[in-house]
Each structure stands twice: as structure tokens, then as C-alpha cells.
Structure 1
Amino acid sequence: MTSAPLTRTPSAFEITDLTVSFGTGTQAVTPLKGLDLTVPRGQFLCILGPSGQGKSTLLRCMAGLQPATGGRILAEGAEVTGPDANLGMVFQQDAIPMWLRVQDSISFGPRMRRVLVSEWLPRVRHFIEAVGLQGRERAWPKELSGGMRKRVAIAAVFANDPDILLMDEPFGSLDYFTRANLHETLLELWRETGKTIVFVTHDVDEALKLADRIIVVTDGRVGYDIDLPFGRPRGDDLRMNVEADAIRSRLLEVLQAPARMQS
């Protein structure tokens, strides 16, 4: 008798009644208050939110870096209880090891998982070329610009081959032109691999350019949720699109609402 094939959930994430509190009593802070969210597999989701309203806490919970006070997170059908190789993370700060050369940094994940060299080496070389770092394989991080170090981090997370990529304002510290080039690199890799990407940003225009879907986290819950109707690729002409302008205005209105309530 043969066993039935395993069926995979159609959702990358299923988040139910997620609550996170810090402290106790009158000093308690609760950035997430019963948040519910489902993310389909392969979606590029951008998370917007005012400072202190829970968006970064949500991402850290999804990555298994922050334990929840209540509720449940399933990633690809399995409960998230801590960091996992299937949950790749790119941080805002440069998080690449300063003691590793470019190729060693990008291959670090597969090597730590004891993947055969014959399997990881072609993949690492592919992503080095995909992010435009060919010829810099032996460079040290101190020899790279901020944009190049971010390319190393992106190549490293793709080379480790997680199903889900979680990105916490990865391009926030970069100049406009470097950021625009990295947008194109990231979108090309996403189209190539079909991975699920959850991307936190403060930048409404960045979200409009990258996302299939945008949510706004306010007061610890999903305060706004929209699927974007625009095709790809998307250029700067989106800034002059009437429908995009209406969505941008609505997003800014939702983002500014908590500040108005506190004033």
C-alpha cells in the first residue's frame, strides 16, 4: 500500500489572532492586537505602517525571531516556533559577515546546512551573476559600497533557497538610483524563482512599484488591505497614473490617521 502524496497548503502564511505584548501591568506595550492575515504562496506583499504600530514586530514574528503572546502563525502549513532555514531574512542594516569574502558569504547558508558543493556552487555562481557581482567574488565587505553589500545579502538569501523571503526595509538607507537598480534586481529574482516575499517599507511609492498587494498595519491590526491592479513592469510613469495616485492618497490617509488621533 502506497501512502497518499503530501498536499501543500496554498498559503505561504496563515496568521490568526496574533498578539504580542511587552512588559506587564500599566507599563505593558501591545504592538499587535489580534492580527489576522493570509498570504498566498508566491505573492509579493508589502507592509506599510506608521512607526510603533506593529509592522516590524509582525515581520519578526513571521521570521520566528519574536515569540507571540497569543495567536498562531503557520508558514507553508507548519507552525512557526523559531528561526527556520525556510524563512530567509534580509535586514535594514548590513548583516553580512565582515570576515567573509563575497562568494563565501553568499555560500554560507548552504555550507552550514551541509549541502553538497556540487549542488550549491552552481547556484551561488548564478546568484552572484544575477545581482551583478561577477568579478567581485573575492572582495571583502569593506571593499564594497552599501549597494553592493545589499546585493550580497540578497544573493545570499536566494542562494540558501528558502520558500519565503522576509525583508525589513532593506533599501531604506540607499540613494534613489541604487535603490531603483536593486528594485529591478529583486523583481527579476522574484519572477525567476516564484518565491513569496514579504517586504516592510515606509515608502508608499516603493510599495506601489514592488507589490502585488499592500497592507497597512495600524493599531496592531491590518487597517487597510489592497491588491494592486497594475501590470508589470512598472516604471516611474506610475507616479502619473490616476488610479495609482488615488491608491497613494488613500494609503497616506490611512498612514496619517494614527498621528491625527494622537494630536
Structure 2
Amino acid sequence: MNAFEIRGLTVQYQPGITPLKNLDLDVPNGQFLCVLGPSGQGKSTLLRCLAGLLVPTEGVIRAQGKPVEGPDASRGMVFQQDAIPGWLRVRDNVALGSRSTDEQVAHFIRAVGLEGREKDWPRQLSGGMRKRVAIAAVFANDPDILLMDEPFSSLDHLTRTGLHETVLQLWEETGKTIVFVTHDVDEAITLADRIVIVGRGGVRADVPVTFPRPRGENLRMDVDANLLRAALLESLK
């Protein structure tokens, strides 16, 4: 069974504005899929449909074999903007709505590097730390699928690199399916098992990424990685 089966997905906001049209896509369980594309080409629209936050105009989406008819605890989401309640301390944010035990909540707080900051308020944290809280919270809720909408786009390079490592460690530990939207080619190559480029309403490219993990700055000197980067950039034009 696939994590997602998408058939004929069409979203039309108004006549002439159709970011997705007859899109077909399968996402296997446990895969780290990056959805790449320019702004305004349907990446976030696709993710909102997968989350059940947006009802498509046409088409069918199945998650774990069941039709997506609205938000569900089996699909967790990390948004581009901070979405953690400012009136809850770190630990309470991570535990909010959690299906994990106290010990598991503590584990995820440690895993994202916030041990010792459990009693801090969000206003006491940097942007990167708040994003770590959001990541810990979504893993603590134990969904089958994680949906991430350009979660690190506002962060500096070093902070993003650290968060890439954190997400990959938790993904390898838990075996979750992750669908990660980004406009950054290097981020996609670093993270993904597979990259799908969305544009002109459908899937414009579908590319496996087979470089051994962990991946880092060494990929910038890798001939095959540079060829893939060039091909992806060409597809984005």
C-alpha cells in the first residue's frame, strides 16, 4: 500500500487560475519525497490537498488506501510560518495533542537539541529553535505521514543544515513517510529519496536520488550531483 495515491488531481481557484490539473502521483510508504518547483506553480496547493486542508476541484487522493476527506491525525504538518502556540512552554507545545508517552516526548525534545529548554516560552527561542519545537511536536504526535511546507526557507544556511540533519535522523529512526515542499534544489538533493518537480499543472519531472547518506557539502564537488543539479534547474525553467 502506498502512503498516497493521487489520480486526476485538479485545483481551480477561478477561471484561468488552475495550479494543478490532472496530476497523478504515487508516494510509497517510508519515502522521503521532495516536491520542487518555482513559486506559484502548485507545490503548496498539492500539500494542502494531501493534508485535507483544501478540497480539490476534481480527482481523488487516497492516504494509506483511504480517501482524504479532511485533516486527520495520521497526517502531520509543519508549516512555513511558525505555528506553535505562544502561550505554551516548549514541553507543553511538544506534548500538545500528543499520542506519545512522557518518555517519548522527552526523547523528541532531546532529539531536536532542546534538552534543558523545556520550560522556555516560544518568545525566548530563536526562529530555528521554534522550528525544532514544531518538528518535535509533529513527530511526538506519531502520524504515519509528515507534510512539510518549505519549513526552513526563512532560516540561515547553518541553521537549515542543522535542521536537515535533525529531520533526517528522526525520519531514519521512525520510518515515517515525508513529503517536503521546497524551491531550493540543493535542499532537495540533500534530503530526498526522490524529487518531483511540479509545474504547469502537473508533474514535469520525477527523479530518484541515490547518493549515499549522509549527504553534505561534499555533494557540491560530486560530478553526478552537479549533473543532477543542472538537470533539475533546467526542468525548473
TM-score by length of 2: 0.98
- Name the residue aligned to 1:6: none
Runs of 4+ more than 6 Å apart: none
SS in structure 1 at match of 2:162 = helix
Deviations 1:137-177 (A, max 9, x none): 11000000001000000000000000000000000000000
- Match of residue 58 from structure 1: 46
Which of 45, 59, 64 matches 2:33? 45
Query: Structure 2: which amino acid aligns with 1:92?
Result: Q
The structure having more radius of gyration, on CA atoms, is 1
Q: How far, CA to CA, are the matches of 2:229 and 2:77 in structure 1?
A: 27
Identity %: 66
SS state of the match for residue 29, structure 1? coil
The Cα of 1:109 is off from its aligned counterpart by 1.8
Q: How does 1:89-100 map to 2 (within 5 A)?
A: 89-100=77-88
Secondary structure at the aligned position of 2:12 is classed as strand
Question: Among residues 192, 200, 212, which one is paired with 2:193 in the alignment?
Answer: 212
Match of 1:5 in 2: none
Instruction: Quote how far apart the aligned CAs of 1:51 are.
Output: 1.5
Classify the secondary structure of the residue corresponding to 1:109: coil
2:146 equivalent to 1:152: no
- How far residue 120 of structure 1 moved from its aligned partner, in angstroms, is 2.1
CA shift at 1:238, angstroms? Answer: 0.4
Aligned match of 2:150:
169
Aligned-pair Cα RMSD in Å? 0.9
Q: How many angstroms does 1:52 deviate by?
A: 1.5
Query: Residue 93 of structure 2 corresponds to which residue in structure 1?
Result: 105
Classify the secondary structure of the residue corresponding to 1:65.
coil
Find 1:21's aligned residue among 12, 26, 32: 12
Specify the code of the residue in structure 1 equivalent to 2:75. Answer: L
- Candidates 196, 209, 212, aligned match of 1:228: 209
CA-CA distance at 1:86 after TM superposition: 0.5
Query: For 1:138 and 1:177, how far apart are their aligned partners in 2?
Result: 25
Q: Which runs of 5+ in 1 are unaligned?
A: 1-8, 257-263
TM-score, normalised to structure 1, is 0.89
Counterpart CA distance in 2 for 1:229 and 1:194 is 17
- Compute the displacement of 1:15 (Å): 0.3
User: 1:108, CA displacement in angstroms?
Assistant: 0.5
Question: Which digits, 9 at most, give the CA deviation of each residue in 1:108-155, with x for residues without a partner?
Answer: 022xxxx5xxx5211111100100111111100000000100000000
Q: Is residue 2:173 matched to residue 1:192?
A: yes
The letter for the 1-side match of 2:105 is: V
Q: In structure 1, what is the equivalent of residue 220 of structure 2?
A: 239
